[in-house]
Amino acid sequence: MVLRILVFLLVILLGWPSRAQEGRVLEVNIKGTKRTKVSFLKKLIGLQPGMPLDSILLKEDVARLQRLPSISHAYYQVAVSRNNGYEVSYNVEENFTLIPYANLFSSSNDAFAFRVGLQEFNFLGRGITIGGFYQYDTFNSFGVGLRAPHLFSRTTGLSVSYNDFTTQEPVFFENTTADYRYNNTGFELMGLHEFNFNHRIELGGSLFSEDYTYLSGATSTSVPQALKVDKHLMKFIYNYENIVYYFYYLEGFKSTLNFQYVGSSNSKLPEFLIGFNDFVYYKRVGKKGNWANRLRLGLASNVNSPFAPFTVDNNLNIRGVGNTIDRGTGAIVFNTEYRHTLIDENWFVLQGNFFVDGGSWRNPGGSFSDFSDDRNIRVYPGIGLRLMHKRIFNAIFRIDYGYGITKDASRGFVFGIGQYF
């Protein structure tokens, strides 16, 4: 009797390890990589050996991989292994990530300007972005930056940048305009953290100096012709993203909150707060269509200053309106466009799009009724083209033509790299 009990217990013990492995992941593989480090991708994915097979986690891992600039597409495969366990393989298709950058802009009323640069979006094969730019917009500007969102761990990293930015800026006061040479030189450091798949934050600040020098136009005793001041900025960004990526097609919702505090070494210049939120919604339309929408709501301290923070500009919010044609302490901007694929070959894609950009601004020192003032409302419908390379990250050359239909409207072309939003 004792012998039978011992034999029974021995069978139980010998069979326990194999039964413990049933339904669990025994091995996780990454396939298809060329420049991206496999160890880096394994650090990012949530599914690990020894865990139960989880279809929700598999889909989340694929979506996480597709968010990387180095990955154009990803999918998973599951195979039954020994002892009824599973072998999981993530298959990835890589992008080329050393990308030249160009942004050209002009309108019927403005001089020609451009920005060129070079960025590597997968430095060292670890999802680090490093690059720099040169800009000519009446004056010369340049900047360099590094962004490493997974530098310290799977969820934590940093970004650092330096910019020496100089432009000719219109300043609006007393129903007149003057042109100033504006220079902003500064250094920014931000900490990056991902709470989970959908929620991320950035927290940090910058030290910078601003230099305004009068060039031409109207003058006023209340507006200085020269102003140079050192400033400091604290910034908080909260990002919620739930977007499904399928190559260049997007579907889902994203919200980005940007809140900043700006202080000054000059006691005569008041400190101020600025905050804005971008709500973005994408919808697939059939097999070849994509509907894209962006709503920006922004407010700043309502200081009656000609140097208000929100601008009306070709490259930021209203295509065709011109380069920095107005300023305000509040903004409501809505962009909507329908993108339709006209040609889709092995590596090349041609899209056409129809868009409507519209918005309104609160005047410096004004009231919320300014948003409904027809002098502040601008609506610009237009059309455009997108030329894409399917295997190079963000290799989208865009050209848009916007035509204003509101009071004192202009029209013009806007060129750039990447989708407008």
For 195-223, list the strands marked E by DSSP.
199-217
Instruction: Please state, in angstroms and rounded to a whole number, the distance separating the CA atoms of residues 274 and 203.
Output: 15
Question: Residue range 18-44: average pLDDT?
Answer: 84
Among residues 59, 94, 129, which one ends one of the domains?
94
Residue keyed to tokens 């709500």: 279
Q: Is 86 exposed, middle or buried (0-12, 13-18, 19+ CB in 10 A)?
A: buried
* Each residue's pLDDT tens digit, 70-96: 998 999 999 998 778 899 999 999 988
Degrees, nearest 5: CA angle 24-30-34? 175
- Structural contact between residues 316 and 325, judged by C-beta atoms closer than 8 angstroms: no
CA 91 to chain centre: 26
The answer to whether residues 217 and 361 belong to one domain is yes
Q: Is the dihedral of CA 211, 325, 366, 217 positive or negative?
A: positive
Residue 170 confidence (pLDDT): 79
Question: What residues contact residue 345 under an 8 Å CB cut-off, 6+ apart?
Answer: none
The answer to whether residues 171 and 282 belong to one domain is yes
The answer to whether residues 40 and 151 belong to one domain is no
Confidence of residue 113 (pLDDT cuts 50, 70, 90): confident
The answer to whether residues 131 and 208 belong to one domain is yes
* Each residue's pLDDT tens digit, 151-169: 999 999 999 999 999 988 8
Q: Minimum mean pLDDT among 19-23, 185-189, 324-328, 341-345: which range?
A: 19-23
- Structural contact between residues 381 and 403, judged by C-beta atoms closer than 8 angstroms: yes
Tell which residue, 207, 278, 269, 212, has the closest CA to residue 239.
278
Question: Residue range 117-123: average pLDDT?
Answer: 94
Domain CATH for 38: 3.10.20.310
The answer to whether residues 323 and 192 belong to one domain is yes
The answer to whether residues 288 and 341 belong to one domain is yes
Domain CATH for 211: 2.40.160.50
Among residues 61, 94, 127, which one ends one of the domains?
94
Max mean pLDDT among 12-21, 350-359, 361-370 falls in 350-359
The answer to whether residues 315 and 223 belong to one domain is yes
The answer to whether residues 281 and 399 belong to one domain is yes
Domain count, the chain: 2
Structure tokens at 184: 């902003």
Count of beta carbons in the 10 Å neighbourhood of residue 364: 22
Average pLDDT, rounded, for the chain: 88
Structure tokens at 255: 């919200």
Residue 106 confidence (pLDDT): 56
Q: What are the C-alpha distances in Å from 42 to residues 46, 64, 304, 374?
A: 8, 12, 53, 55
The whole domain housing 63 covers 2-94
The answer to whether residues 354 and 386 belong to one domain is yes
- Structural contact between residues 228 and 205, judged by C-beta atoms closer than 8 angstroms: no
- Structural contact between residues 150 and 136, judged by C-beta atoms closer than 8 angstroms: no
Among residues 45, 63, 94, which one ends one of the domains?
94
Question: Residue range 320-332: average pLDDT?
Answer: 86
